[in-house]
Structure 1
């Protein structure tokens, strides 16, 4: 395992996460690439997306099967403006690169929303801190380890 993956795996152990980090020999930077590599449905990929919400980091753990409606999430959270973060902002906020951001293991806690659509899958796969690693988990476990708000992130 790489140093980043070792560090992430240690974080998962500290959080009593049952699943273990799986490393791939190639990057899996998109939900579609990850689903193809894992042989699972696109909706079972838990994308850890970093946004800026009134200039603060916001993590939305979203199902790979749809896009986040930032206006809807903004109304839900009572924030004025949610924007996609720059790669530099993502790295600073999470310590992890775009395409490999995990739901945990960040230098500081980040306000988090977990997409309820992930509950439709018995097992979901989330990034593990690098572009070539993921780990299996569940919706309930994602909510527990992130302290996230379970919510719909797509306009209904």
Structure 2
């Protein structure tokens, strides 16, 4: 089970017990924000994208989406979402629970500037009903992010 892998992974940082498991689904930004009682923008949305034969995760604020022009300028190719089946096989996490933690080594993580408006964010933890509150520094460390990028736009 993916959440157990994330729990084991976060144990090294002393954060395993900070994972929040809700009775309600947190599989979408709106559901997660409602379950946590926070504004949707503070949900750290992990977007699973194709990267050659592997995948990449771009984490954006809940009110942001990938800006295709910015993405192509940053990476040199068009953003293409993984299918639900590929998301699970490549990241080890199911759609609705994808997070930037406990990923295979070949899956690169990038953090988007859209999150820098907030002191803390809430990414999922490998299941459709989990989240954890982390600072941006913690998110960067725990996700083993390659770098901060600017590939999104805020949607209203």
Do the two structures share a fold, i.e. TM-score over 0.5?
yes
State the match for 2:44 in structure 1: 46
1:94 maps to 2:109: no
Q: Matched residue of 1:143: which SS?
A: helix
Equivalent pair of 1:5/1:21 in contact (CA under 8 Å): no
Following the alignment from structure 1 to structure 2, what is the Cα–Cα distance between the partners of residues 54 and 71? 19
Equivalent pair of 1:17/1:141 in contact (CA under 8 Å): no
Q: TM-score, normalised by structure 2?
A: 0.87
- Aligned length, in residue pairs: 153
Equivalent pair of 1:19/1:136 in contact (CA under 8 Å): no
State the match for 2:150 in structure 1: 152
State the match for 2:104 in structure 1: 107
Equivalent pair of 2:66/2:151 in contact (CA under 8 Å): yes
Q: What pairs with 1:6-155 in structure 2 (closer than 5 Å)?
A: 6-17=4-15, 20-77=18-75, 79-148=76-145, 149-155=147-153
Q: Matched residue of 2:103: which SS?
A: coil
Q: Matched residue of 1:85: which SS?
A: coil
RMSD: 2.0
- Structure 1 gap segments, 5+ residues each: none
After TM superposition, give the deviation of residue 97 of structure 1 in Å. 0.4
Would you identify which runs of 4 or more consecutive aligned residues in structure 1 move more than 6 Å?
Answer: none
After TM superposition, give the deviation of residue 140 of structure 1 in Å. 1.8
After TM superposition, give the deviation of residue 21 of structure 1 in Å. 0.6
After TM superposition, give the deviation of residue 18 of structure 1 in Å. 7.9
- Structure 2 gap segments, 5+ residues each: none
Equivalent pair of 2:54/2:90 in contact (CA under 8 Å): no
